[in-house]
Structure 1
Amino acid sequence: MKAIITGVTGFRNRGVEALVKTTVEQLLRRNPQLNIDILTETPDYDRIRLPQEKVNLVDIKSYYQGWLQKLQAKSSKFNKSLAPEYTLFKEASVVIASGGDLFTSDYGGLRYHLRPLNLALHARVPVVFLGQSIAFKTNEEAQTWLKVAHLSKLITVREGVSYKYLTKDLELPTDLVKHTADSAFLLEPPPSEDIANLLQSYGLTEEFPIVAIAPSQGISRYSGLSEKQHIETWHQVIKMILDEFNAQVLLIPHSQNLRPNNDDRIIATNIYRSFRFEPRIHLAGADHSASEFKGLISACDMLIAERMHAAIAGISSSVCTMVIGYSVKAEGIMTDVLEAESVHNRLLISIKQFLDADLACSKLRTAWKCRDEVSSQLKEALPRVKKDAASNFDLIGQILK
């Protein structure tokens, strides 16, 4: 029995790592004999993070070279001779589309991510969309995705906004679409002793509170806003944290990439440099796993995150988390866990609003004052959310049976 996971852009993005690692763990927990093929853009790096015997990493860029472009051409019909790797799908029991928010209008590349799913459908293999946030700005994009969605076996969405969009706006049936939660809520942090050692290695002390910050190098590009203004706002926000909260700051570069326009080490270092390497600011610059980053975040008093899976690391550790959002996923995931009024008034700010530094600081002050209250609310909600996250794999287990 074999499962194939698609939509994996690579584990240098720790959000991708958190998604795939928990998916593999949950699948194998229910089906120990299952073999798993992962189509990824960075197999050599990902193999370091996921060395399991049952897992095979396939270089998706080499896989697509030449023949799949012919397959997608309007003038050509599906032909197995064009697809020498067709057996990879033919032998599968299920093909699972991961990725979190790849099937949206935010990043482009919709057809690219639908390619392996089309191939799976040609091979008559069940297709599952796993833990997705889905929203399209154009009818053309929606109809392109729906051609595959209508033929899929299961669609699970990780938040209520996407569930409403799919079942109400796109009129997909509720027996096909299920409202669950992001599998990264199930990611385990390292042992507490390791976390304590990590904090000490970065010079963080118990004497002062810690605010973690997970900035995004790519958010300016996604939202079409000024990169310079983005850095300047972060400088003002962090200055307030240092001066008013008397706190230490821990910079978390959660997504690292070979492409500089999406490597959070760049923006984190630029922020650090703008303070002339102020000793109360610390950069977690090692090649940390998603689990280690979660461990560091779990030890903090508050998190401010532009990266959604860094935010999930905070939320799932009961850390008061303020999210800077630019898409449906931020509002959807936050309001699934906490009351909508609390989220909108205290814990969620759009990237456009965030660039108004006075507004950003005001919102942060409000969140800081209620951080203990929010932490208690998260502790109460998390058992339900984690149960919803695990239900993804109970549903897939039914398909495998």
Structure 2
Amino acid sequence: MTRIYIHSNGDAANHGCEAIIRTTYNMLKPITCEIGYPTYDITNDKKYGIDKLVTLIPCKRPIIQYRSVRYFYNRLLSKINFDKYAASLYQDLLTNSLNYDIALSVGGDNYCYQQSYLRLAYINRTLKKSGLKSILWGASIEPSLLKIKSVREDLKKYDALFVRESETYKALQSANINSNVYLYPDPAFSLQRQPYNLPKNFIEGKMIGINISPLIQNLNSNPTLVIKNYENLIKYILSETDCNIALIPHVVWSHNDDRTLLYTISNSFRNTNRIINIGDANCMQLKDCIARCRFFIGARTHATIAAYSSCVPTLVVGYSVKAKGIATDLFGTEKNYVLPVQEIHTETDLVKTFRYLFDHETNISEHLKIIMPDYIKQAYKAGSTLCNLIKY
């Protein structure tokens, strides 16, 4: 029996991470395998039922008090001996991998951030030294990172790279990384829906779903401007349309919780009786809720994937190559479908971009209905290719 170690994903309170592990598990069903899944929050993973799919392996990282002696020691160590620093962080994850044959690095956007690639490279390098076959799965890679020699060397060490959008694929080709590179949609496009018990005032066909991430505030030089854009968008919807609004969280980590901003926004409009706060649920139920919206405006990538795959006209408030790449693959352009948060300069930028979506609703919806069945088939094909690589 093949033993597969799926690592570097977040716990299921990030419902994008949950969608990745659920759909990856389903894609691996054709082969007889044992799946181990290291987790740094086993409580959250059990809460959303991940233990029903894979073997959860509890891992711990050292807890270091901010500005303590150990904190400053680690900062210094990370600069002068990164491998020793990383070994202290990932000892559990790497030790637990020794009983497995295949390492599947997931997480989707781990290679989109400057601060994470060194850690991923250390994990990849160590797993390979231990004799595991190492595969990067469903990834986007920030093209600017490929200018760094150590990143290119790291990526070439993988036995296979599965990338989820063509912007990353083209960037890899330009960096002369061509061997065992596969382009397929994100596995979460294949996620199935599970009925969500919608609130009574959720009027199907007249709801506009909105998701916002605390992360995007920090990526604009004026964080309050981002919130002002969302507030002005809601004002526009309430005054210019007969639609109601569903505020939908997709990440509910204690340190990074969509509901914090969503509740703040909803309180500003609590007297309108046209805004609903959708409660937390698993990723399949949240997809069911998103699928019943007329439009969706989202910041979290897998919330927008839930909308796209349900043929809901979608505007992405994006911040990296993943948003641009996926939109370009679906529509041939990112223009009018992605509003980069770094390019929000006025208080009405989000309203202006949404108006395009609203005015072209029928064409966008019909386009998604035409292309999406084959796009989802391609996502499943990624699973078939992965299974063949694992078997042979």
Q: Does the residue aligned with 1:390 lie in a helix, a strand or coil?
A: helix
Alignment of 1:1-400 (within 5 A): 1-27=2-28, 29-31=29-31, 33-52=32-51, 55-62=54-61, 73=81, 88-105=96-113, 108-137=115-144, 142-168=148-174, 170-173=175-178, 175-190=179-194, 194-195=195-196, 198-199=197-198, 201=199, 203-206=201-204, 209-221=206-218, 223-259=219-255, 262-285=256-279, 287-340=280-333, 343-344=334-335, 346-400=336-390
CA contact (8 A) 1:272 1:278 kept: no
- Measured after TM superposition, the shift of residue 387 of structure 1 is 2.1
Partner amino acid, structure 1, of 2:132? V
Q: Does the residue aligned with 1:30 lie in a helix, a strand or coil?
A: coil
CA contact (8 A) 1:218 1:263 kept: no
- Give the gaps of 5 or more residues in structure 1: none
Shift in CA distance, 53/351, structure 1 to aligned 2, threshold 3 Å: closer
Q: Does the residue aligned with 1:102 lie in a helix, a strand or coil?
A: coil
Supply the distance in 1 between the matched residues of 2:106 and 2:92 (Cα, whole angstroms): 24
Q: Percent identity?
A: 24
- Give the gaps of 5 or more residues in structure 2: 65-69, 71-76
CA contact (8 A) 1:215 1:307 kept: yes
Q: Deviations over 1:159-196 (max 9, x none)?
A: 0000000111x2112x4111111000010011xxx34x
Q: Deviations over 1:79-126 (max 9, x none)?
A: 9xx9687663333221001011111236x2222333432221011211
Supply the distance in 1 between the matched residues of 2:238 and 2:103 (Cα, whole angstroms): 48
Partner amino acid, structure 2, of 1:310? A
Please report the RMSD computed on the Cα atoms of aligned residues, expressed in angstroms. Answer: 2.8
Supply the distance in 1 between the matched residues of 2:327 and 2:248 (Cα, whole angstroms): 20
Q: Does the residue aligned with 1:171 lie in a helix, a strand or coil?
A: coil
Q: Does the residue aligned with 2:137 lie in a helix, a strand or coil?
A: strand
- Measured after TM superposition, the shift of residue 54 of structure 1 is 5.7
Supply the distance in 1 between the matched residues of 2:107 and 2:375 (Cα, whole angstroms): 19
- Measured after TM superposition, the shift of residue 216 of structure 1 is 1.0
- Measured after TM superposition, the shift of residue 249 of structure 1 is 0.2
- Measured after TM superposition, the shift of residue 328 of structure 1 is 0.7
Q: TM-score, normalised by structure 2?
A: 0.88
- Measured after TM superposition, the shift of residue 378 of structure 1 is 0.6
Partner amino acid, structure 1, of 2:240? E
CA contact (8 A) 1:38 1:58 kept: yes
- Decide which moves more: 353-362 or 302-311: 353-362
- Measured after TM superposition, the shift of residue 350 of structure 1 is 1.7
Q: Does the residue aligned with 1:15 lie in a helix, a strand or coil?
A: helix
CA contact (8 A) 1:8 1:41 kept: no
Supply the distance in 2 between the matched residues of 1:74 and 1:135 (Cα, whole angstroms): 22
Q: Does the residue aligned with 2:157 lie in a helix, a strand or coil?
A: coil
- Measured after TM superposition, the shift of residue 148 of structure 1 is 2.6
Shift in CA distance, 277/111, structure 1 to aligned 2, threshold 3 Å: farther
Aligned to 2:73: none
